[in-house]
Structure 1
């Protein structure tokens, strides 16, 4: 039985024949359908409005979450950067403390030892306990000890200055052949006393651009090391080669040489020292300073070495003619 309300009543009236005006019935159905449609449209509109409101709220929340994620990402990167900076500073502090410990060891022992030897030799000379022929031998030994001590002190002073405030490069024109000759004048007697021949193979005056004190230190350290690791009867040669824009200086020796692993360590930031063929000592700062000073003078440092055959250290300096051409 159809419900006695709404559309059910209309249908029942139609069937029983109580409706005398069908056209009115049709209009009633139209109005009823229209009202139903409007009601559904209103309900759908309200549902859609709620959906859109929720969607907008969800997008707002998503934007907030994304914004917070970006902020967290930036903060995380900043923390990682700060941690990296702290780690690098800690590494530098550890390395500096290690070097300071080494320097105190050098000052307390390695510098005192040669000075004590020189004092002992001078005491023997003063008291006349040695002959004239022995005096020459002792004088040569004293000279070597004093020169070794001088090198240690010079390297220590440069290293300390570099650590404290950096080193200022004072560039000027340098007569390279003259500078090499002056350095060899000091080291040829030292090599001779050890039985090592120290020679130069240069082709006359060549002018370069650089800091004369730094280049002097580079030459002294490389020549000193070559003598240090060359046994009696060996040879050390200083040569130069014109490379247009640069001049290449090579210090070659017929010494003990090095394997590939050792040569790689030479170009690390670690300070290392080894005893020479006559048990000569050093601070280990020399090559560290050489590498940095070559770089400060716009040059490059390379090494070739074969165990049991010898080593060749090469570094480049700017040629004066090339520098003048660029200036023009």
Structure 2
């Protein structure tokens, strides 16, 4: 809507200029003293309105025709009929247009007026082009071309070149069409015929749609738009806007395509041109369909269908009536000729009765033989047609079976693909479990075995026993932590594991996990502070969030120095809640940050030489992603780290199975 308003603002200046011309012509009409002056004033007003308001163009052309008929001014009749025919051509009423131009051509022939003859041939060529009778179109254009060259009428010759370009474009000979459009544009620019030049520029831009780089046609179309705005030719202007939209659609710029298509449709509805409304509606349908906005695509497809059916129904009925009338006239003339011939034949039969009888008998035999041949041919054709029908039905059945088999194969392929993906995931899960159990879990158990073997072989002092038990406790803690991580991770990977998303009070969850971690913190004199405001709510699976939070708290304690502080905070950001765990410990080296959450597990000793498994952060990332969350980190070596848990702020509570 905004783009349409902008277009109207741009046109406001040129419309004022047009109104001045129209006002001047209306004053001229009101002051005309003679019928011929009134006829020409009406013709000029019709010509001025032709590309801006077709209804008014028809009214003034009809008025001129009626005046010319009443006054016997045949040249005025011819001009008025050509203008009226052009108005019908613009609105898609081709039968009415053809009637007007044939009448104008007949008058021009009787008057031997070369200018009117040239115009009539040009207009008839345009009508035949519109109804796809290209041979007759070329025939009429050729007649107009010969007259234009004979009188050195460059204006008419430019129109002929342009229209021949249209014919070759319709035939699919796009390079030849472009050559004619360019010849037309060069002639029209030379003589300053801006109206025709704007049309040729439109055609040059339009034909680029059929080449490899359709965007090269945009400069010509924009120049055509500028000229049509200057000349107030709304009909060509809306067509150029539609072609601009078509090119933008072809190069994938659907936003610009939609903007110009809307402008074209708005102008078509304004001038009430059924043909232009149908073209613009079809373009809007194609653009919305490519954007997958199928409700709007259906709306404009319906508009296109209504307009097309209306135009086709009216045109078909009128053309059939016209053809029937012409046929009946020709049939009557033929019957009259037959009556005259029969009369002559009877006279000859009286004089040559015997000879005529013999010729009649021979003719009867010949006709009888011909009838037999025709009947036999008809029977053969009927048999052949029946076989063709049977073959067609057989091919249809074969096609249906092939389509069904293809659909079944596609369905089976999709099922196999899903099964392969599932097997791949299970195989990866198996390999990870074997890797952890065979390597990471075996290492602390081997250490425990070694310590126990050492204790068995020698007698130890109490101090050595305490030291041994300290080592055992540490190795068991590592093994238990790793086992817990492996079990939780394995559970998260299984199909039966479910996620229960609900509103979680982050302050309460933080308190619960601080309570579980406080004994470890007290051993190092680290202070745990819950800085999360009461009633700060996010949506998560509480069990998985507890594991992640507990894991991050234990990591923070592990890498904090004695007497340090770990603070938990939370803040809202748009549709998310960000929970931060900040410590002032060892921090992480920059080269280790990139692989922190990957399967390449990162582990190092804590500030008190605590060991870790390297599984916690990888598992935390997977668990958070399973509940629509994420994890991030900021760290500086020697100054500490901050881990951020990002959770949805508010979503509908749901239960889903994790695969």
> Smaller-chain TM-score range?
0.5 to 0.7
SS of aligned partner of 2:589:
coil
Cα 1:261–1:173 change in 2 (3 A) is closer
Q: How many pairs does the alignment contain?
A: 288
Cα 1:70–1:186 change in 2 (3 A) is farther
SS of aligned partner of 2:463:
coil
Structure 2 counterparts to residues 164-179 of structure 1, below 5 A: 165-167=496-498, 169=500, 174=505, 175-179=508-512
Matched, 1:287 2:621: no
Structure 2 counterparts to residues 292-303 of structure 1, below 5 A: 292-295=622-625, 298-303=627-632
Higher helix share: 2
2:630 and 2:646 in contact (8 A); partners too: yes
Structure 2 counterparts to residues 43-62 of structure 1, below 5 A: 43-62=376-395
Which residue matches 2:424?
91
Cα 1:37–1:219 change in 2 (3 A) is same
2:588 and 2:635 in contact (8 A); partners too: no
Structure 1 Cα separation of the partners of residues 397 and 501 of structure 2: 58
Structure 2 counterpart of 1:223, from 542, 553, 556: 553
SS of aligned partner of 2:595:
helix
Structure 2 Cα separation of the partners of residues 116 and 216 of structure 1: 33
Which residue matches 2:544?
214
Task: Identify unmatched segments of 5+ residues in structure 2.
Answer: 1-351, 653-659
User: 1:129, CA displacement in angstroms?
Assistant: 2.9
User: 1:211, CA displacement in angstroms?
Assistant: 5.0
1:300 and 1:316 in contact (8 A); partners too: yes
Cα 1:163–1:246 change in 2 (3 A) is closer
User: 1:27, CA displacement in angstroms?
Assistant: 2.6
Structure 2 Cα separation of the partners of residues 276 and 95 of structure 1: 26
User: 1:91, CA displacement in angstroms?
Assistant: 0.9
User: 1:36, CA displacement in angstroms?
Assistant: 2.3
Higher strand share: 1
Matched, 1:129 2:463: yes
User: 1:28, CA displacement in angstroms?
Assistant: 0.2
2:441 and 2:482 in contact (8 A); partners too: no
Structure 1 Cα separation of the partners of residues 487 and 553 of structure 2: 19
Which residue matches 1:78?
411
Q: Deviations over 1:116-141 (max 9, x none)?
A: 588699999x841359xxx6x88876
Structure 2 Cα separation of the partners of residues 24 and 239 of structure 1: 124
Which residue matches 2:74?
none
User: Alpha carbon RMSD of aligned pairs, Å?
Assistant: 4.4
Structure 2 counterpart of 1:41, from 369, 374, 380: 374
Structure 2 Cα separation of the partners of residues 274 and 236 of structure 1: 24
Q: Deviations over 1:168-209 (max 9, x none)?
A: 64967551341243244144256x39xxx6754615545546
Structure 1 Cα separation of the partners of residues 619 and 613 of structure 2: 13
Which residue matches 1:104?
437
User: 1:66, CA displacement in angstroms?
Assistant: 1.6
